[in-house]
Structure 1
Amino acid sequence: MVDEPSDIEQQIINARFQLMLTNKINGSFALDVEFSVPSEGVTAIFGESGSGKTTLLRCIAGLQKSNPAFLSFNGEVWQDRAIFKATHRRSIGYVFQEPSLFEHLTVMGNLSYAIKRASNKLNNTFYSQVIDVMGINDLLGQGTNQLSGGEKQRVAIARALLLQPKLLLMDEPLASLDVKRKLEILPYLEKLRASFGIPVFYVTHSVDEIMRLADRVIILEAGKLVNQGNVSELFSNINFPVQSRDDIGIVLDCNILEVDEQWQLMKVAFNGGQLWLPKRRDELSNSQCRLRILASDISVTLEAQRDTSILNQLPAEVIETVPEETWATTLLKVKTGDTILLARITNKSLSQLALSSGKKVWIQVKSAAIIR
């Protein structure tokens, strides 16, 4: 039996859900999840198909009843033994895999539908911000059948935001889009994350989307929560099971310092130093950006190099060496400033450089290899 927390913290989302679902196709499925996360930023709900991601999101939305259950948002109880707030009373915006726009209405008509149903009177500044961040000003007069898949999803997100929700729920909003459309819409989701103070639960099975968008992640497996935490910390863990061998790397949140127009580069700072990387047009209006650096894209030297094409060289210290048993390589955990990075080198290089914990080294990161 799930008991209610005796002390409900402010600015926290507390949730406990237990339920059993049965259908003719998939048989029985049990969800048994408990977590507390800050009511800010983006919390990704990650897992393979059938792990319970959408079921959990529907429980949070009140679209799926769970008993026993508990859900509170910033101290306001949405569900417990005695209370079950209906979906329309939970102050949420919900973005589905498919845009689900009203085809008989224009884009403006779809947005007006949300505006009329918002709990608060629309602030013109907020409206303009939503239209600008989602980049749909030129689409307002068009019919929805004239839009691309990416444009439809951007309108659907804008419609959810115009409800002025306290919490935004997004159920794999890029799942129905091809690769080109996904790359088109991701910068808009990054702007959403940076522009609004609305906490988001973001369901996905994509590591790349987590890396680019999420602040923390909840990992489900067969209906159970198997891991959770800050994205940067989890994905810097060599033994983190979500990462495949080729995906192993770290995430950095950086401040943009300057742009070199001549060479189309920008300099960013993080807690371990500074990096040069190719500038990207959609980032230039921001003061921050998020980077992903794979272990395979970091090389290690004993001294700083002078004659090299690699722009980024940082002093570091080896913290840990972890042999990859089925490969001729070793993963190094190295620290530069306050930041831990991962580097993959051959066992031969490990021996030749005599690398071990405590060794002072230099790391090199190719600008062109940095992922955003």
Structure 2
Amino acid sequence: MLAPDTLIHNRYRIVRLMGEGGMGTVYEAIDERLGYSVALKQTLVGGPAPMEHTFEREAQQLARLRHPALPVVSDFFTDEAGQFLVTSFVPGDDLAKQLAVRGKAFFLEQMLRWADELLDVLEYLHSRQTPVLHRDIKPQNLKVGKRGELILLDLGLVKDSPLPTSHARGVSSGFGYTPLEQIQGEGTDPRSDLYALAATLYHLATNHPPADALRRASYLARRQPDPLRPPREINPLLPFTFANLLIAALSLDPAGRPSSAQAMRFAMYEERTGKAKALPILQPAVERTMPIVEKAAAKPKRQSQLITALPEPTQPLPHVATRSKNKPIWYLWMAGATLAIILFGGGAWWLAA
């Protein structure tokens, strides 16, 4: 652990310890060259040259990421104290501390908005040419920005890393949010992040952390009931659809979870708005730099609602007589006849007189 006021890389002065995880330790530091606060992450993976090259390659890939929910990676280096990653500093308490102070679950609408923002950034990370997995989503790694947006901290290793999964956050301080396949070192994929996200939302929605995956697996192996309590049993105000989606994403078997962040986001959207959301055509990840929170794709029409173009008629349509808006012509004939009778009668009377 680095003591406060320690100068690293002749540039970054340690202010305080911010947190510890399965992959390293995070400090608040001052960039003395530019004069502002940064988050300095000291990784625990070190040793052979291949691992150093892996760290350098992954740091460069993380530095290319641009999303409102992600801190910007500004620097990385290796020195005698270890390997370091420098990112933008996000002030304030994380959601774990906020929940502890609050003492009760967050409001549903607020959580659904946060869930949408998190699923948007996971969709961005997972759909990149080289997919990026976070592998450590938990309330301690979430903060709220100045404008109310959610920030996902402590980004993990990229998916193509040759490092064994057991070394890449196999067991972290967020053990209760970690899926079984990651704990056992069996390999991770995007659905592993969905498990951690669901475990985080479960905690925020009930003010109770979910039963960890190892405990659940041991109960099921002994043919005992799953110790994971249904969310509505703790918070009856949660909608059925939302609670069932959390349970599905918390499946110990990855095949039982939503297939992707996009699919889970659509289900969340339906719960939030009561409307079905059409699957959009995904844009290249490099072009998607802003989260889509309120704007939804148009609702698809059912087959019965689709209207096809009518063919051109082969014969002219019959003429349909319509009533003229002008007065009928017989009114003119009647007026003329009346005038003639008057004139004729008046002339006869004049002659007789």
Q: Same fold (TM over 0.5)?
A: no
Task: Give TM-score, length-normalised by structure 1.
Answer: 0.22
Relative to total residues, which structure has the larger helix share, 1 or 2?
2
Select the structure with the greater relative contact order (CA < 8 A; seq sep ≥ 6). Answer: 1
Pick the structure with greater CA Rg.
Answer: 2
More strand by share: 1
